[in-house]
Amino acid sequence: MPTTNLWAGALSQLLIHQESGCPHSARHAIRLLDQLCDFDDLDADVRLLCERASVRLGQSLSRRQENRQERNHAGAA
């Protein structure tokens, strides 16, 4: 069973990312959520929520990187 510290860490990093947009916090949250998903005794519904949150954070990082690249290309033109 996941420890309280692991749950708290995942939620903390998720909130930091949501409040500040920090990509490092998003990466940490993804890593911690993925660790939670690896627990065999995790409830299936909770595992699904952790997986969804991890995927959405990854998508958010990808969009952010794409937007940054577009701005860099527009500025060079």
CA distance 55 to 22: 16
The confidence band for 77, taking pLDDT boundaries of 50, 70 and 90, is low
Q: Among 53, 59, 62, which residue's Cα sits nearest to residue 29?
A: 53
Q: Is 57 in contact with 17 (CB distance < 8 Å)? A: yes
Encoded tokens for 9: 């860490």
State the average pLDDT over residues 13-33: 95
- The chain-wide mean pLDDT, for the chain, equals 90
Handedness of CA 55, 48, 28, 36 (dihedral sign): negative
Which residue would you say has higher pLDDT here, 39 or 2? Answer: 39
Q: Is 57 in contact with 26 (CB distance < 8 Å)? A: yes
Question: What digits encode the pLDDT tens for the residues 58-68?
Answer: 998 888 777 77
pTM of the model: 0.82
